[in-house]
């Protein structure tokens, strides 16, 4: 058969139409602003900076990826910035700790975003949250934390480091006093300096930002908020879930812990085109399979328990399907004392 120029052009156009959507998405020569809803040196910041070194190579066009830290309000500032101001062409990406995921349903402040409208790319790990104190603290057990007030450093009123201790106070009768206003890095320094007794945070963040705390036994873990039974150092610490007495308490705790499986989730702004979302999801999934990245993460004690963007969206949907009475119970339990 003789192939004419018009036939060739027609075949080329038809072939292009059959290409996967993500193959048409290209960031060559562009710079992607990655908004980290946390401070420099914190766990989400360090996890993100390592990921981007590799993920940029898996994105179409291999763009430059630049981090902008926005820790205000426990991460709310950063998440709202991506939601309301983020570019929808693939040059704006965000990542958040757990606090801003919980705030829309569990918090008492009005947020300027809807989690269901983000385009979720994937999450890096699962939470392994514990409440710890410095080794010189007089607080050695949960009972000690019931007997006296225990100041803890926290990043913001909506952060997990604030909400978690408040819920534990309600469920177990402890007297934790989260002091917000720190960022991820300075919250750790506050513990070392003795400004506070301790902090509720993830073991992954500690291992990433302050590995000597564990190596030199400088901290005492009072209990685990998330499941840490597979942790090599703290598998035998008391688990909050085992200390709860009633079904109502267990239901509240289960709802509060729902986002734990999507720690450090990445998102694109609402209304980002489908081909951009598909391109990012593929790049994220490919990075998670990258043996060099995984080896480097292990070297830095970064625990990878990735979930796809679709799975992250499913967790968000489950949260929004929670019965109102359970949501109200958690909201009241985690309200800042003295707030309206």
Q: Most distant CA pair in the chain: distance in Å? A: 90
Q: Is a pLDDT exceeding 80 seen at residue 14?
A: no
Give the Cα separation of 115 and 129 in Å (integer): 22
pLDDT tier for residue 6 given thresholds of 50, 70 and 90:
low
User: What average pLDDT is seen over the chain?
Assistant: 90
Task: Answer yes or no: is pLDDT of 20 > 80.
Answer: no
Q: Taking a C-beta distance cutoff of 8 angstroms, is the pair 168, 176 a contact?
A: yes
Q: CATH second-level architecture of 129-258?
A: 3-Layer(aba) Sandwich (3.40)
Q: Are the beta carbons of 316 and 115 closer than 8 angstroms? A: yes
The secondary element (H helix, E strand) that includes residue 35 is: strand 31-36
Averaged pLDDT, 238-248? 94
Residue 320, pLDDT above cutoff 70: yes
Q: What is the mean pLDDT of residues 192-220?
A: 93
Share of residues in the chain with pLDDT > 90 (%): 72
Q: Do domains 24-125+261-331 and 129-258 have the same CATH topology?
A: yes
Beta-sheet strand order (sheet of 219-224): 176-179, 150-153, 198-202, 129-134, 219-224
How does residue 9 score in pLDDT terms, banded at 50, 70 and 90?
A: very low
Q: Where are the domains of the chain?
A: 24-125+261-331, 129-258
Whether the model pTM is above 0.85? no
Q: How many CB atoms lie within 10 A of CB 156?
A: 27
Tens digit of pLDDT for each residue in 109-132? 789 999 999 999 999 998 889 999
pLDDT band at 196 (very low <50, low <70, confident <90, very high): very high
**pLDDT at residue 12, rounded to an integer:** 45
pLDDT at 13 > cutoff 50? no
Q: Are 222 and 205 in contact (CB under 8 A)?
A: no
Multiple choice CATH, 24-125+261-331, 3.40.50.300, 3.30.1300.10, 3.40.50.150, 3.40.190.150 = 3.40.190.150
């Amino acid at each position: 058969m003789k192939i004419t120029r018009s036939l060739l052009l027609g075949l080329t156009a038809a072939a292009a139409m059959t290409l996967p959507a993500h193959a048409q998405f290209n960031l060559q020569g562009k710079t992607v602003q990655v908004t980290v809803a946390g401070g420099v040196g914190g766990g989400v910041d360090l996890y993100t900076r390592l990921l981007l070194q590799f993920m940029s190579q898996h994105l179409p066009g291999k763009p430059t990826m630049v981090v902008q830290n926005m820790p205000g309000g426990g991460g709310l500032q950063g998440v709202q910035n991506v939601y309301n101001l983020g570019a929808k062409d693939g040059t704006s990406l965000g990542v958040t700790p757990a606090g801003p995921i919980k705030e829309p349903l569990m918090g008492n402040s009005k947020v300027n975003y809807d989690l269901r409208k983000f385009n979720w790319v994937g999450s890096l790990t699962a939470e392994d949250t514990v409440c710890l104190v410095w080794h010189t603290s007089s607080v050695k057990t949960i009972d000690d934390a019931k007997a006296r007030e225990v100041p803890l450093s926290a990043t913001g009123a909506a952060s997990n480091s604030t909400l978690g201790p408040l819920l534990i106070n309600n469920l177990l009768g402890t007297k934790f006093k989260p002091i917000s206003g720190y960022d991820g890095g300075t919250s750790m320094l506050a513990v070392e300096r003795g400004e506070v007794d301790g902090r509720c945070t993830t073991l992954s963040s500690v291992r990433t930002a302050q590995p000597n705390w564990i190596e030199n036994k400088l901290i005492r873990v009072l209990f685990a908020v998330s499941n840490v039974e597979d942790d090599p150092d703290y598998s035998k610490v008391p688990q909050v879930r085992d200390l709860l007495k009633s079904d109502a308490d267990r239901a509240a705790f289960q709802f509060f812990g729902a986002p734990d499986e999507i720690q450090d989730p990445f998102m694109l702004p609402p209304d980002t085109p489908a081909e951009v979302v598909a391109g990012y999801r593929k790049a994220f999934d490919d990075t998670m399979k990258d043996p060099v990245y995984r080896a480097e993460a292990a070297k830095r004690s970064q625990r990878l328990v990735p979930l796809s963007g679709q799975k992250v969206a499913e967790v968000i949907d489950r949260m929004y399907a929670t019965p109102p009475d359970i949501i109200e119970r958690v909201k009241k339990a985690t309200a800042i004392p003295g707030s309206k």
